[in-house]
Each structure stands twice: as C-alpha cells, then as structure tokens.
Amino acid sequence: MKIGATFPTTEIGDDPVVIRDWIQTAEGLGYDYVLAYDHVLGAVHAGREPCLAGPYTEKHPFHEPFVLYAYFAGITERIELCTGIVILPQRQTALVAKQAAEIALLSGNRLRLGLGTGWNPVEYEALGVPYAGRGRRLDEQIEVLRALWTESLVDFEGSYHRIDRASILPRPTAPIPLWFGAMSDVAVDRAVREGDGLIFALRPTLLDGMVGKTRDRLEAAGGCIEGFGLEANVDFSVGPQGWRKELAHWEVQGGTHLSLRAMNTGNAKMGLGTHDYGGPRGYVDALEIFMKAIR
C-alpha cells in the first residue's frame, strides 16, 4: 500500500520555506505521494438558500494545486503529486490539459490527476460556468483531455467544447492517471467507466459499502479490482492506535493508497476531534510522528 500526505493547505500558511520543508520532509521520510485540495474561491455560508454543503468558507486559504505542484516538482525527485481533487467543470479544459501536461513533464511523470465536480455553486458562478450540468460537462472534459494529451491535431465538437484543428505542445510523454473523487454512486460509476482509481474523502472503516459498490460495478463492466486504485485518508487527530486500525482495515479491503490528513479544518463537520499543531512547523513534525507509528 502507498502512504501519502494531504497538504494542509488551509492551515500551513504561506511561508515558502515552511512549504518547502513540508514536502521535502515527506519525501525524505518515504511518503509515496502528496495530495492537495482545490478551491479557487471561498464563500460566505450565512444567509444562503440552499445552504452550502462543504466545510470551507471565505476565511480558508487554498494554495492553487497546479502552481503548487510546479514548485514541488522543482524541489523534489521522487514523490508523486496527486490532486485530490481538481474541480474540473469550473475550469477551462484545454488550459487544464496544458497545465497538467507541463507538470507531468517537469516532474518526470509524477502527476496523478484527481478530478471531481465540487459542491460550491458560488465558485462556479464567479468563474463563469453553470453549476447545473457539471457532471455531464466533466464527462465530456475527460474525452477532451485525453485527446489533447495524445493526438497531434484535435478536431472536436461536443455539447460544451469546440476545438477546431488545434493541439497542445508539449504533450505528456506518458499517460496521466485519472482518478475521481467519490462521495456518490454517480462518481463511482464514472471512475469505473473512465478512470484509474477512486479517492474517498473518508477513513477506511467508513468505506466498506462504497468499496463493495465499486467491486460490483467493476465486475459488471467486465473489469476487476486488481489494478484499480482505492484511496482513503486517516486523520491525525485519531492518534497512533486509530492510524494502525485504519491501515489494517484498508489492507483487508484491498485499498491501494492511504493519506494522512493532518489538518483541523472541517473536522467538526466530519465528527472528528482536533489537534494543536502549535503553528506551521507542527504540520511538518506530524509527518514524522505518523510515519514512525505505522512503520
């Protein structure tokens, strides 16, 4: 099983030295990958109907994942860079294809692109994209991404895209894995149909039902769980005994990736406790504490 670390984007601050130390510490300790969340904008929750579903507000900072990973690519050598997830429908598809190809090239093909539809209609509106129909838009975007990454000339017309005999250069030198964030049956179906794996935003002991559905859908589609990635996370606040319990459970379930989430933001909404990291350096220290406990 691969062990990763979720970048504590809302809490680590903006000191580039601390951010450098965090990623280099993760790589030095043997973490296999890093995972970064994506939000372009935060929004006020109060006074909205319907209510916003997610845990993040206008007070939560987010480092932009493509820019962040360009930085990480230049200061690391081995660790995989996973977006978990990029909210693809609110972004321009051709631009994402270009950005992802560039990071894949500059990192030596270490990019794993996690994709999803998100939950914040305010963000969609501000970026000039309808919130309705985002799932259908995502399905078409997957086709466009793969065409731009592999074809010397793309001539495409769909419901949301028109590319008139154009291409991106440089293109990736290897396939960019596409994983999908999964909180619903629709997302599982999409991943089975189009992807290489699923990123669950929950701890393994809560995922038996979703894993079972994934297996059933893979079998129905003529595939198998072997070679298909399953990623969960474990929160730092549950402590060493909890970490080892979740890791063991995920191994039994056939999980392939497990990410440490050392970040308090949203924990109350998920029914989790918090941990006093004592400042930005505490998130670097958490990487070592976790790895020593599970290895």
Please say if the pLDDT value at position 227 is more than 80.
Answer: yes
pLDDT of residue 222: 85
Asked if the model's pLDDT at residue 199 lies above 90, the reply is yes
How confident is the model at residue 225, as a pLDDT?
79
Question: Which pair of tokens denotes residue 278?
Answer: 């004592």
Mean pLDDT of 114-123: 97
Residue 182, pLDDT > 90, answer: no
pLDDT at 286 over 90: yes
CB 57 within 8 A of CB 123: no
Please, which pLDDT band fits residue 270 given cuts at 50, 70 and 90?
Answer: confident
Q: What's the chain's average pLDDT?
A: 96
Model pLDDT, residue 269: 85
Confidence label for 189 from pLDDT (cuts 50, 70 and 90): very high
Res. 224: pLDDT tops 90: no
**Mean pLDDT on 45-64:** 95
Q: Spell out the residues 6+ positions from residue 295 whose beta carbon is closer than 8 angstroms to its own.
A: 30
Domain coordinates in residue numbering, the chain: 2-176+230-294
The pLDDT, as a whole number, for residue 15 is 97
The pairing of strands 154-157 and 162-166 is antiparallel
CB contact set of 13 (below 8 Å; sequence gap of 6+): 280
Tens of pLDDT along 126-144? 999 999 999 999 999 999 9
User: For position 139, what pLDDT does the model report?
Assistant: 97
> Under CATH, domain 2-176+230-294 is a member of which superfamily?
Luciferase-like domain (3.20.20.30)
Q: With beta carbons less than 8 A apart as the criterion, state whether 275 and 12 touch.
A: no
Mapping DSSP to helix (H, G, I), strand (E, B) and coil, where does residue 26 land?
A: helix
> Alpha-carbon distance 110 to 69, whole Å?
10
Which pair of structure tokens corresponds to residue 266?
């949203």
Q: How many residues does the chain have?
A: 295
| CA–CA distance, 152 with 173 (Å, rounded to integer) | 13
User: Within 10 A of 171 (CB to CB), how many other CB atoms are there?
Assistant: 16
